[in-house]
Amino acid sequence: MAESSENVLLKEIDDICKLAKLQNGTLKQVANDLLGSSAEPSCPKVGKLLPLVALILSISVALVLRKDILVAVFGTTERCIISNNPLIMELGRPLADCTMCQSLDVVSVYQNISRAEFADKFAYSNIPILIKNGTSGWSTSIFSYNFFRQLYMDTPGALEKTEQECQFFEYNTNIETLSEFFEMSDDRAALKEDSWYIGWSNCDPTVGSILRNNYRQPWFLPRNVAEEVDELDWIFMGGPGPGAFIHLDHVEKTSWQAQLSGTKTWTLIPPPECEAVCKTLEVTVHTGDIIVVNTNKWYHATYIHQGNMSITIGSEFD
Q: Decide if 305 contacts 282 (C-beta within 8 A).
A: no
Instruction: In whole angstroms, give the CA distance from residue 129 to residue 142.
Output: 26
Per-residue pLDDT tens digits for 205-262: 999 999 999 998 899 998 765 455 557 899 999 999 999 999 998 887 889 999 999 9
pLDDT (0 to 100) of residue 316: 86
Please choose, from the candidates 203, 151, 202, the residue with its C-alpha nearest in 3D space to the C-alpha of residue 313. Answer: 202
1 exposure class (CB count in 10 Å sphere: 0-12, 13-18, 19+)? exposed
Q: Measured between alpha carbons, how far is residue 83 from residues 55, 58, 90, 94, 143 in Å?
A: 18, 18, 11, 16, 34
Alpha helices by DSSP H, listed for the chain, are 5-20, 27-35, 52-63, 67-74, 86-91, 115-121, 145-154, 158-165, 178-182, 186-189, 205-212, 223-227
List the single range of 100-104, 137-141, 180-184 with lowest mean pLDDT. 137-141
Q: 145 near 198, Cβ under 8 Å?
A: no
Return the pLDDT at 201: 95
Residues 6+ apart with CB under 8 A from 1: none
Tell me which amino acid residue 228 is: E
**Mean of the per-residue pLDDT values for the chain?**
80
pLDDT at 93: 80
> pLDDT tens digits, residue range 267-316?
999 999 999 999 999 999 999 999 999 999 999 999 999 999 999 999 98
User: Is a pLDDT exceeding 60 seen at residue 2?
Assistant: no
- Percent pLDDT > 70 in the chain is 69
Does pLDDT of 112 surpass 50?
A: yes
pLDDT of 65: 45
Q: What is the DSSP letter of 239?
A: -
- What are the φ/ψ torsions at residue 163 (nearest 5 degrees)? -70, -30
The CATH superfamily of 98-317 is Cupin (2.60.120.650)
Q: How many Cβ atoms are within 10 Å of 24's Cβ, its own excluded?
A: 12
Distance CA 84, CA 170 (A): 16
pLDDT digit string, tens, across residues 35-63: 444 444 444 444 444 455 555 555 554 54
Rg (CA), the chain: 20
Domain ranges across the chain: 5-91, 98-317
Per-residue pLDDT of 276-285, as tens digits, reads 999 999 999 9
Q: Which helix (H) or strand (E) holds 255?
A: strand 254-261
| Residues 292, 254: Cα–Cα separation, whole Å | 8
d(CA 107, CA 282): 7
SS3 (DSSP) at 283: strand
Query: Could you tell me the pLDDT band of residue 172, with boundaries at 50, 70 and 90?
Result: confident
Residue 218 has phi, psi (to 5 degrees) of -55, 135
Q: What is the pLDDT of residue 92?
A: 72
- pTM here? 0.74
Alpha carbon 203 to chain centroid distance? 18
pLDDT of residue 216: 86
- Mean pLDDT, range 131-140, rounded to an integer: 92
**pLDDT recorded at residue 47:** 41
